[in-house]
Homo-oligomer: A and B are copies of this chain.
Amino acid sequence: MNAGIKVFAPATVANVACGFDILGFALEKPGDEIIAKFSNTPGITITKITGAKGKLPYEIEKNTAGFAAQSVLNHLGDKSTGISLEIHKKMPFGSGLGSSAASAVAGAMAVNELLKRPLTKRELLPFAVLGEQIADGAYHADNVAPSLLGGIIFIRNNKELDVHRLPLPKGLYATVVYPHVKILTKDAREVLSPNTTLQKCIEQNGNLGGLIVGLYNSDLDLISRSLQDVIIEPQRAQLIPHFQEIKESCLKAGALGCSISGAGPSIFALSPNSLKAEQVAVEMERIFTDNKIKNQVFISQINQEGAIKL
C-alpha cells in the first residue's frame, strides 16, 4: 500500500549564450531522484538525503525540494496528508547545471505523482520556482522550467512565468563539462555590472532572436551565428580557468556554439550530431585534465521529457 513513488528531474543548462535569465534546456543526465511515501506526520518530512555530503538541510523551509513539495501540498489544501521524501542528489552542487532547480522540480513532482497527479506539469511550475528561490534568491524559471517540462525553454518574463517551449532541429547534441572549481551563483552574479550599453543590448537581442528563428527553421548556421553572448560571458569567463581555450577548441572541433552553463563553472557546447558532441567532449576533458583540474563530462541529446516518474 505504501510502496511510494520515485521521480527523476534532470540537470539543465541556463542562459544558453544569448538568453541570460530567459533560456534554458534540459539534459538527459545527470539529475536528482526523490522517493516519496505517505507518512503519519502531516505535511512534508525529509527522512533521508544522499549524495549531498551533509550540505543540504532537513528543514523544509530551507530545502528546495522540501519547500517545493510543501508548496504543492499547501496549494492542494491537504492539511492532514503526510508525505516523507528521500532525496538522492545524483548531480554536482554549484556546478551551473541547475542542481537546486532539479531538486525543487523533483520535490514538486514527487508530491503530485504520489497524490495521483491532480496538477499538470505546467501547473507545477510556480511551486518548483518557489522551491528553487530558496537556494538562488531569485524567482527565475530558466533552470526549473526545462527541468520540469523538458526541451529548450524560452521565458518571455520570469515574474509572469510566461514560458514557451521552442522547437528543436533533429540531432542537436549538448556536451557539458563540469570542472571541479568553485563558483557560487551569488559570486557569479556579483561580478556582473548592473548596466550595459545600448549597442550590446541590440547585439544580444539580435542573437537571441537569431537563435529562436534558427530553432524554428532548423537553420544550424543561423543557430551557430547566434550562440554568442556579448554581455555576460565576457564578464564571467575570467572566473572559469581555461575558458577561452576550451571554447576555441570546441568550436574548432565542430561545435555550433560554446558558452558558460548557467552561472558556471560548467561549460556547455551544442553540436549538430553525436559524433561532433563526442569530439567536443574529448577537447573539454583533455584541456582540464592537462591542467590538472578534475572534471566530469556529460554528452546528451536535449531531454524532451523533463522530469519523469521512474
Contacts and interface: CB of A to CB of B under 8 A. Distances in A.
Given A201-B205, A205-B205, A208-B208, 10 more contacts: A154-B213, A156-B209, A157-B206, A195-B197, A196-B201, A198-B231, A201-B204, A201-B231, A212-B212, A212-B213
Given A192-B198, A201-B231, A213 B22 contact: no
A225 interface: yes
Contacts of A199: 194
Given A195-B196, A198-B194, A198-B195, A208 B205 contact: yes
A31 interface: no
Interface of A: 19-22, 154-157, 160, 162, 164, 166, 192-210, 212-213, 216-217, 222, 225-226, 231
A193 B157 CA distance: 24
Contacts of A216: 212, 216
Contact of A204 (B160, B162, B205, B217): B205
Contact of A222 (B21, B164, B205): B164
A203 B156 CA distance: 8
A196 B194 contact: no
Contact of A166 (B20, B192, B213, B222): B213
26 contacts: A19-B205, A19-B209, A21-B202, A22-B206, A22-B209, A156-B209, A156-B213, A157-B203, A157-B210, A157-B225, A160-B225, A164-B222, A166-B213, A194-B199, A195-B196, A198-B231, A200-B201, A201-B201, A201-B204, A205-B205, A205-B208, A208-B208, A209-B209, A209-B212, A212-B212, A212-B216
A151 to B, nearest CB: 13
Contacts of A204: 201, 205
Contacts of A200: 201
Nearest to A235: B198
